Amino acid sequence: MPTNSVPRPEYPRPQFTRRDWLNLNGAWQFETDRGDSGLERGLLDRELRDEILVPFPPESELSGIGDTDFLEAVWYRKALTLPAKWAGRRVLLHFGAVDYDTTVWADGREVARHRGGFTPFTADLGDIAGAGEEVVVTVRARDPKSGPQARGKQAIKYANHDCNYTRVTGIWQTVWLEPVPETHLRRPRITPDLAGSAFHLELPLSGNRPGHRVRAVLSDAAGEVATAEARADLDLAPRLYLPVPQDRRREWSTEDPYLYDLRLEILDAAGEVVDSAESYAGLRAVALRGKAVLINGRSVFQRLVLDQGWYPDGLMTAPTDEALVRDIELAMQAGFNGARLHQKVFEERFLYHADRLGYLVWGEFGDWGCEVGGSSGDNQKPDTSYVSQWMEAVERDYSHPSIIGWCPLNETYQKLHDRITQLDDVTRAMFLATKAADSSRPVVDASGYAHRVAETDIYDSHNYEQDPVAFKELMSGLAKGEPFVNAYENGASYSQPYRGQPYFVSEFGGIWWDPEAAADRSGEDRTESWGYGERVRNEDEFHERFANLTGVLLDDPDMFGYCYTQLTDVFQEQNGVYRFDRGEKLDIARIRAAQLRPAAIEREDSAR
């Protein structure tokens, strides 16, 4: 049952921090509303019957609820007192993520609405309650089974099945309060300029005041590196330029993930600090040269792993901050230097740890297999909500140096027609919107299957062929400009033709290894366990197959990377390098050696 402790107590937005804040995680009143009739039945105006431990979703064990049935709507309620020392400032109520369609009330007055299960939103408590006063916050989260909804890998059947996992409803990331002045900083956009040895900053403001200025101070371990100021009474997002002298220049890379400290301020006409926040920045560049993806001007072979970001006890919510760190460390110990953050927008603290550990990541949305007119009962269908929700994710994560590419969609199966479809429109809208929001990173229009945008920056494929010899033959066409392209069984195309873009196999492997089943001599097959292809008979066979499959791609001079499926087992999927509980499953030293064999290292060194 929930306790009075505060789970996930760490600051939830580490790249834009303020000194004053209040974590609201912990025990909240809770009630399930299976018919979504709670508003009519008076749930807004009364105490709720149960208790839940926020930020864990009600389907999870850690929440204290553990209800894995379909939850059409859920309600939360918490009475809290605003700190007296916050007098004279506005109070913002932040939600890291709530799945899926959320309404928030404060003392019965609606203060926020938000649609989308992966991205943050904020409610301004305004004049509803002042410092030292109590306010009752009520949250209703709807999770409908009809109408278009991006949900990623959440199951549409009652139980887990295939590649789908236990559903998540309601609050699943940190809820917190923050006091700000009337005119305050909003989240900055930090763009590294490696060629110019500088950082470009945009500092969005809540409003403008006569005589106000913005100031940014860049520092390293030795002290101040650069300072810049600009008027804050002309533009809603003043721009600042912070040059980095050559003797203080240090690039962010996988070998040396150096981060500069950044202090941001608003000054009034008298030069007094009105608002301030702390941030950080990494000096790094991503470029494309022929079939190569360059990081800081050199080729870095991307040995990525597919990370689903699911946990046995917290589901989409990591049980602790240390669990986020551990996942990155486990991947790096196995020889991977990055990940596709697969089919969910990971909580931001994961990106913070990737930034400081030098771990390459591709940011991705949760929309697996969306198509128009797809399978009955599947409401993961593309519409304009995909674009708006994805743009929220890009805006949140823009300044993280660990992100080296964007992947809006994944495995959109609908074949190309001679008429433009809704999926074509949504795919192109997400691609163009991403390019408009961020010109500093490459964008793959959709990972695997349908490359519907001819000018996609990156071309990729998914291929789970388990025979290394057959896999090598399938991959052999890249040298001739004719790479493997996902297609229907009858050969009908999902994609626009390949035009020489950088190419990688962004899903492969998925080798099925279930040690318990292999040790079971009863002859009974463990049907709840599955992976790709025929299950290997022993661990040696796994390592041989892994080394040979990865070797095909490591030895291809035209391949810029790969993404192996996957980091951990997830429920019924027994194809992880580690167990679902992150326990050891394989000889990790052999996994690492297969990826870091001398030929692969020599190839990367020669490209520097």
Q: How far apart are CA 77 and CA 75, in angstroms?
A: 7
Q: Is 504 inside a domain boundary?
A: yes
Do 522 and 427 lie in one domain? The reply is yes
> What is the Cα–Cα distance from 137 to 16, expressed in whole angstroms?
25
Return the percentage of the chain with pLDDT > 70, whole number: 95
Task: Count CA atoms closer than 13 A to 544's CA, side-chain side.
Answer: 8
The pLDDT of residue 1 is: 38
Q: What is the pLDDT of residues 32-88, one digit of tens each?
A: 999 999 999 999 999 999 999 999 999 999 999 999 999 999 999 999 999 999 999
Same domain, 200 and 132: no
- 150 with 249, same domain: the answer is no
DSSP strand pairing (409-412 vs 446-449): parallel
Q: What is the pLDDT of residues 557-605, one digit of tens each?
A: 999 999 999 999 999 999 999 999 999 999 999 999 999 987 666 666 5
> 13 lies in a domain?
no
Instruction: Clarify whether residues 206 and 345 are in a common domain.
Output: no
Name the pLDDT band for 416 (thresholds 50, 70, 90).
Answer: confident
pLDDT at 376: 57
Distance in angstroms (rounded) separating the CA atoms of residues 160 and 153: 10
**pTM of the entire structure?**
0.96
Q: Does a cis peptide bond (omega within 30 degrees of 0) precede residue 566?
A: yes
Give the pLDDT of residue 339: 98
Residues 86 and 217 in one domain: no
Mean per-residue pLDDT for 307-322? 98
Pair 171, 272 in one domain:
no
Q: In angstroms, rounded to a whole number, what is the distance separating the alpha carbons of residues 506 and 369?
A: 15
pLDDT at position 419, please?
Answer: 83
* Sequence letter at residue 21: W
Task: Provide the CATH number for the domain around residue 273.
Answer: 2.60.40.10
Question: Final residue of a domain: which of 160, 179, 198?
Answer: 179
Domain that holds residue 120: 22-179
The SS3 of residue 201 is strand
- The mean pLDDT of 424-447, rounded to a whole number, is 97
- 351 shares a domain with 328: yes
The answer to whether residues 393 and 360 belong to one domain is yes
Contact at 8 Å (CB) between 168 and 316? yes
Last residue of a domain, one of 150, 179, 208: 179
What pLDDT is attached to residue 559? Answer: 97
* 176-195 confidence digits (pLDDT tens): 999 999 999 999 999 999 99
Distance CA 123, CA 390 (A): 20
Indicate whether 206 and 253 sit together in one domain.
Answer: yes
DSSP state of 493: B
Report the pLDDT value the prediction gives residue 197, as an integer from 0 to 100.
98
pLDDT at residue 492 is higher than 90: no
What is the mean pLDDT of the segment spanning 505-530?
76
- In this predicted structure, the answer to whether residue 4 has a pLDDT above a threshold of 80 is no
Tell me which of 142, 161, 179 is where a domain ends: 179
Mean pLDDT on 18-41: 97
Would you say residue 131 lies in a domain?
yes
Task: Verify that 487 and 542 share a domain, yes or no.
Answer: yes
Task: Tell me the per-residue pLDDT of 382-406, one tens digit each, with 9 for 90 and over.
Answer: 999 999 999 999 999 999 999 999 9
376, part of any domain = yes
Parallel, antiparallel, or unpaired: how do β-strands 403-407 and 360-364 relate?
A: parallel
pLDDT > 90 in the chain, percent: 85
Q: Are residues 480 and 526 in the same domain?
A: yes
Spell out the residues 6+ positions from residue 598 whose beta carbon is closer than 8 angstroms to its own: none
Q: How many CB atoms lie within 10 A of CB 588?
A: 15
Task: Residue 105: give its domain's CATH number.
Answer: 2.60.120.260
Q: In this structure, what token pair is assigned to residue 70?
A: 């379909």
Task: Give the total number of structural domains in the chain.
Answer: 3
Does residue 72 sit in the same domain as residue 206? Answer: no
Given this model, what pLDDT does residue 597 score? Answer: 80
